[in-house]
Structure 1
Amino acid sequence: MEAVKQWYLDNLLTRMEISSQEFIQHINDETENGITEFEKRARSFYAEPLAHLKEKEFMEIMILDGCFVIQLLWKIVNGKKDDDDPILNMDCMFQYVCHDLLLLENQLPWFVLSALYKVTLGKRYGGPPFSELLLCAFSSLNSILKKYFNSYLDCLDLNDDRVDEN
């Protein structure tokens, strides 16, 4: 799965036409108090201290996992299905990934996903708010009752940036 996540990240960076170093610089420039504070804040969301991971290793995990989620959601919403996409072209793999994303031990802090989205496909590149992307992706699944997501979308003030900040 790590190779698949890396493939998704590479596709995202290619679409953005930037290198991984430029991407890290974007994160540093666009996050409050820079990447060091971003990393500290992200660590604070986990029950265990994760002291075995150095700052660079921890941020690589956040970026790899976060960008995988963002790219996957974007592909679902926009109907982008590459012929060699290992998630969307294999029967039941997408459902497996969705189940895996919902496991508590696999969840990323919301602010990490939101911040990475803003730097990748969000405000910087004219995409909808992250909360809208997420809701649209999940509401497109046949296994989820659309009425619940649609009613939430109707009530959500998508122009309020605070929804995606916390």
Structure 2
Amino acid sequence: MGASNETFSKREKEKAKQKKKQDKQEKKDDRKANLTRGQSLDQMLAYVDENGNISSRPPDPRKAKVIEQQDIRLGAAEQVKEAPQDAIRQGAVTFFNTSKGYGFIRDLQNQQSVFVHMNGLIDAIQENDKVTFEIEMTPKGANAVQVKKLVVT
């Protein structure tokens, strides 16, 4: 007699199709069994506590912080101007590339690294030189200007 008209591939595809259909039916039955439509509003609500965590309990109103409208700032924070006595700083040149014309100065007061460009130089500088400078804030950050080499005696 003749062999079955179904090939192995067709049988496997049909089995997979039946399995997928059965899984879908099981999920549907599970959703019906765990129906959440009939719950009260209190059971469906979620709250955020003072630490930002989701909770089933409402937050304690005694822990609420009062924020005044004028205290809310939108946008970037205002830049604080430095005091005039701190305008001239001292530092050491940690890196300077003379061919490219830029480098960095380590501020001796707060150990901050400040960018310096050759346009901000008064005297020629090299690495490890002690210098005085002023800080100018730019959109990209702090720049050292009016850079003078300290004379070591």
Tell me which interval the TM-score lies in, with the shorter structure as reference length.
Answer: under 0.3
Relative contact order, higher structure (CA 8 A, sep 6+): 1
Q: Structure 2 length as normaliser, TM-score? A: 0.16
When Rg is computed on C-alpha atoms for both structures, the one with the higher figure is 2
TM-score for both structures, normalised by structure 1: 0.16
Whose helix proportion is higher, 1 or 2? 1
Q: Normalized per residue, which structure has more strand? A: 2
